[in-house]
Amino acid sequence: MATRSSLATGIGRVLIAVYGILALAATGRSVVQIIEKFSFAPFAYTLSAVAAVVYIVAMIALIVPGRSWYRVACVTIGFEMTGVLVIGTLSLVDRQLFPDDTIWSYYGLGYAFAPLVLPIAGLWWLRKHHRAAVTADTTPSSVPAGE
């Protein structure tokens, strides 16, 4: 049976690439915000750093095959979806919480709504490749000889 990494073609590769781009964008944004003006909006800038970590972990989890990494991908992307929805809604309802934007503010408006669409696509892709991902750890090729 194929592993998830061998299934990372087409939309899987696009997802991984977009996660990589957002990881770089969120990391750069949070580092600049924290270094230059952390006291202005500490909550927003901390959330930018959290988003950066989420994108990095999600990207790695989508690349690495196996049951454990599949679970990490599901949890991380689920957390991302929750974050985008909660932060997106809070940024509309209570502007005082966000004197400056995060990557998830207004559901990712500053990033052409990619932060809103990406977790939906990621969870769909994971569901589509669920069987291959969870069986990758148990295929004969992954069990050392003699066991």
SS3 per-residue string spanning 20-76 = HHHHHHHHHHHHHHHHHHHHHCHHHHHHHHHHHHHHHHHHHHHHCCCHHHHHHHHHH
Q: How many angstroms separate the Cα of 97 from the Cα of each of 44, 81, 94?
A: 8, 20, 6
Q: List pLDDT tens digits, range 89-136.
A: 999 999 888 889 899 999 999 999 999 999 999 999 999 887 555 555
Q: List pLDDT tens digits, range 45-78.
A: 999 999 999 999 999 999 998 999 999 999 999 9
**Model-level pTM?**
0.81
